[in-house]
Amino acid sequence: MIIIKDETDTKEAESYEGVRILLLTNGNMNGDAAGAALRLRNITGGKMAVAILGHSGESLREADATYYLDDPVFADSDCRASGRISVALIKKVFPCDYVVCGTSSAEGSPSSLAARIALGCDMEPVFNISGIDRSDDGSLRIIQNGTESKVSWKAVFSVSGGRWPEAVAEIREGRHLNRIDLGLGVFSVGAKGSKVLISKEVS
Amino acid sequence: MSEGCSGGSCSTCPGGSGSDGEDRLPPGMLEHYDLNTDTRKGILVFIQTEDGVPDASTAGILTLARNISDDRVFATAFGGVEIKERFKEIFALGVDTLYHMRNRDRGYRPLPWASAIMEVAERVNAAVLLFPDTRAGEELASLCAAKADAGICVRCMDLRMENGTMAAKKDLDTGTIGVRFVSRPAVIVASSTGLPAPVSDPGRKGTVINRPYSLEE
């Protein structure tokens, strides 16, 4: 594996006043979600940050900023606790206009995490999209279950299939954020902040 | 506190109920009440229909709900008069009370539908919200779990009640995990594989409640 160490300028992305896009992922990049985030970046001309739920993992070559949500107390978080971590990131560190969910906790799905973020950040949840384009009036046009519709500014997407531009996954250096950085209490994250406990049964 | 009093509710306790505490419980009664117990019971099932025809997994989901429920089985079905033809079939599969959700706009709208389901869930005080493994089922389950700040398990199998809490298994690429809900309500998208064989009792009766819902969130 080739490791490219690239110091992404997170401060520039954080202070950028145009459209901002956040891709949520875990250690393994979801190709569809990465492609959707890249498509959003290409359409809007905005800045894209990749937030990785974990201490290491692949970011994207095209990312303007990379965050590692990295704290031992984040371990064993269910969808509820993961949602709190994501909402805290958006509210405190990287306020954004569009979020693409490419990950979830083991028991949930990207859509279940997208719903938490949407309700937590007052954004529109848009599930299982398979295409994004810009409409004539400048708004975003999405394809969902074979039908087209428009979405408002500030939306959270989960992705299901579709043809997307190919994003290049890459190990990047980024900003490591822990519980204190995000202003979260011990009892709101990890197993203590979860309503579903997960145990390994069969390997 | 006198001997034998564990609740601080007798007349000899400081501030006890002997003299002026008319709003307090009689001596010794506190230990009979566990005020921290969750009172949620029963299961609320979302029945997905297309032009009045229930989804293929409906019979299995309703049978599953009947098998694991510790109380009544409630269900919601969105649609117009075409749903009426399915009432007997739904009751035969174990539903006690069906909420027929009605609106002039028949289109699928995730946010208003999730709000309407949550209103029913709060009304019936459901312990479990059960959804089919469909696109709409997963989306509505996600929104309901977020609105209720509840735990969710998507595509889980082997659902069972263990010591008053829901437990299940879920297959991942890396193996199988065990899932246990630590609070109620539990929001569950049951995997379409592994559903029980439908059990129908044509003689069963139930109650239908017509419930209009708003498109405003």
B149 and A80 within 8 Å at the Cβ level: the answer is yes
DSSP string covering chain B, please?
--TT--SS-STTSTT-SSSS-TTSPPTT-GGG--TTS----SEEEEE-EETTEEPTTHHHHHHHHHHH-SS-EEEEEE-SGGGGGGHHHHHHTT-SEEEEEE-S--S--HHHHHHHHHHHHHHHT-SEEEE-SSHHHHHHHHHHHHHHT-EEEEEEEEEEEETTEEEEEEEETTEEEEEEE-SSSEEEEE-STTPPPP---TT---EEEEEE--S--
Residues of chain B with C-beta less than 8 angstroms from the C-beta of A114: 142
Q: Which of B139, B147, B169 sits opposite A127 (nearest CB)?
A: B139
Interchain contact, B147 vs A198, CB within 8 Å: no
Do β-strands A155-159 and B128-131 pair in parallel, antiparallel, or remain unpaired? unpaired
User: Does residue A199 lie within any of the structural domains?
Assistant: no
What DSSP assignment string belongs to A7-69? Answer: B--HHHHHH--S-EEEEEE-SS--HHHHHHHHHHHHHH--EEEEEESSSS--EETT-SEEEEE
Question: Quick check: is A201 in a domain?
Answer: no
What gap in Å lies between CA B49 and CA B137, rounded to an integer?
A: 11
The pLDDT assigned to B106 comes to 84
pLDDT band at A177 (very low <50, low <70, confident <90, very high): very high
Give the count of domains, chain A.
Answer: 1
Q: In whole angstroms, what is the distance from residue A142 CA to residue A163 CA?
A: 13
Domain hosting A82: range is 10-193
C-beta atoms of B170 and A202 within 8 A: no
Query: Quick check: is A137 in a domain?
Result: yes
CA distance B121 to chain A (A): 18
Residue A158: closest CA among chain B residues belongs to which residue?
B139
Q: Which of residues 147-186 of B touch A (CB under 8 A)?
A: 147, 149-156, 169-170, 172, 174-183
Cβ–Cβ below 8 Å for A194 and B176: no
Determine the pLDDT at residue B13: 54
Is B99 exposed, middle or buried (CB count within 10 Å of its CB: 0-12, 13-18, 19+)? buried
With beta carbons under 8 A apart, name residues in chain B contacting A87: none
Q: Are B150 and B180 in contact (CB under 8 A)?
A: no
Q: Is A199 in contact with B177 (CB distance < 8 Å)?
A: yes
Instruction: Spell out which residues of chain A touch residue B172, defining contact as CB-CB under 8 Å.
Output: 106
Note the ipTM here: 0.91
Residue A201 has its nearest CB partner, among B141, B146, B169, at B169
What integer pLDDT is reported at residue A27 of this predicted model? Answer: 79
Q: Which pair of tokens denotes residue A139?
A: 């708004």
With respect to CATH, is domain B43-212 assigned 3.40.50.620?
yes
Per CB-CB distance under 8 Å, the chain B contacts of A107 are 151-154, 156, 170, 177, 179
Domain containing residue A61: CATH number? 3.40.50.620
CB contact under 8 A, A115 and B149: no
Interchain contact, A80 vs B155, CB within 8 Å: no
Strands B53-54 and B49-50: antiparallel
Query: Where are the domain boundaries for CATH 3.40.50.620 in chain B?
Result: 43-212
Test mutation, A26, A79, A199, chain B, max B CBs within 10 A: A79
- Residue-level pLDDT at B1: 44
pLDDT, residue B41, reads: 85
Q: Is residue A48 part of a domain?
A: yes
From the list B135, B151, B152, the residue facing A128 with the nearest CB is B135
pLDDT at site B94: 93
pLDDT at B161: 87
pLDDT per residue rounded down to tens, chain B (217 residues): 445 555 555 555 555 444 455 667 777 777 777 666 777 889 999 999 998 899 999 999 999 999 998 789 999 999 999 999 999 999 999 999 999 999 998 889 999 999 999 999 999 999 999 999 999 999 999 999 999 999 999 999 999 988 878 999 999 888 899 999 998 899 999 999 989 999 999 999 999 999 999 987 6
What does the pLDDT look like over A10-66, one tens digit per residue? Answer: 666 677 778 999 999 987 889 999 999 999 999 999 999 999 998 888 999 999 999
Residues of A (107-136) whose Cβ lies below 8 Å from B = 107-109, 111-112, 114-116, 118-120, 125, 127-128
Do the domain assignments include residue A2? Answer: no
Is B143 strand, coil or helix? helix
Specify the pLDDT at position B28.
Answer: 73
Reported as a single tens digit per residue, the pLDDT across A121-167 is 999 999 999 999 988 887 899 999 888 999 888 999 999 988 999 99
β-pairing, A20-25 with A47-52? parallel
Nearest CA in chain B to A77: B151
Say what the pLDDT of residue A114 is: 97
Q: Which of A113, A91, A79, A28 is nearest to A190 (CA)?
A: A79
Whether A176 shows a pLDDT value over 50: the answer reads yes
pLDDT at A203: 47
- Tell me which residue of A150, A147, A156, A148 sits closest to A138, measured CA to CA: A150
> What is the percent of chain B with per-residue pLDDT over 70, rounded to a whole number?
87
Residue A9: which pLDDT band, with cuts at 50, 70 and 90? low
With CA atoms as reference, the chain A residue closest to B135 would be A128
Q: How far is A44 from chain B (nearest CA, A)?
A: 26
With CB atoms and an 8 Å threshold, state whether B138 touches A111: yes
